[in-house]
A = this chain, B = another copy of it.
């Protein structure tokens, strides 16, 4: 069912662009996604506690929905998707996380969704007890959780109110750093093209966007026909104009 994406963890790390705060713009101009300033207590914890970093292949399951939530994972590199299944097999990818994000936190003691790597990934495995007991670490955990919530809010809008084309355009914009979010830097002078690499199969994209693979494929073909994007090797998508794609997201 899933394409075996050939990629190692190092390549994945290079792909995930750093999104630092934008200084000196007066109004806060950081992106909504992933703005985690260095947290000393967290850094100290990682240096001292018994944690291990595991390297996982693409399409490796980190944990299953409803299993006891023994571990918390910090994504060090790569991308991980979180999904839930309905009884009849329908799948919804509820979130996609990358470096710096924490997953596996749970209120109930059971994982509320499954986690599967999209790319080769390095994940740090933490003991649930260690993280939950320490007051000092909660501030860092707190930031991670708030980031996830804002991401989930955006996703709810996408799933509930956007057309197929708007969903696909929004999806593509996810992979363009510093664009289409709060603090968008606008098109660079003398060109606004960008190539993004989709490390997901059409099935995974469809399950993330709440569509079918056929619809995802059709929308991409249509965008290609209209000259908005060009597709190289199925997983490399070149946008002639990022702004033009952004205008299709339904946000503006």
Asked if A3 is at the interface (CB within 8 A of a chain B CB), the reply is no
Q: Are B210 and A146 neighbours in the complex by a CB distance under 8 Å? A: no
Assuming the contacts A145-B142, A146-B145, asked whether A112 and B32 have C-beta atoms less than 8 A apart, the reply is yes
Q: How far, in angstroms, from A106 to B250 measured CA to CA in the complex?
A: 23
Whole-angstrom distance between the Cβ of A109 and the nearest chain B Cβ: 5
How many Å from the CB of A142 to the closest CB on chain B? 5
Given A139-B138, A251-B87, is A210 in contact with B113 using a C-beta cutoff of 8 Å?
A: no
Minimum CB distance partner of A136 in chain B: B135
Task: Enumerate chain B residues within 8 angstroms of A139, measured Cβ to Cβ.
Answer: 132, 135, 138
Complex interface: chain B residues within 8 A of A112 (CB): 32, 149-150, 153
Return the contact of A92 from the options B108, B149, B156 (Cβ within 8 A).
B156
Nearest to A209 among chain B residues (CB) is B160
A150 and B105 alpha carbons, distance in the complex (Å): 10
- Among A164-183, those with CB < 8 Å from B are 182
Asked if A108 and B138 sit within 8 Å, CB to CB, the answer is no
| A30 within 8 A of partner (CB) | yes
Enumerate chain B residues within 8 angstroms of A108, measured Cβ to Cβ: 28, 30-32, 35, 150, 182
- Besides A30-B108, A86-B251, A90-B250, 5 new A-B residue pairs in contact (Cβ under 8 A), listed by A number: A84-B156, A92-B157, A92-B160, A107-B143, A152-B152
List A residues at the B interface (Cβ < 8 Å). 28, 30-32, 35, 82, 84, 86-88, 90-92, 94-95, 105-110, 112-113, 132, 135-136, 138-139, 141-143, 145-150, 152-157, 159-162, 182, 207, 209-210, 250-252
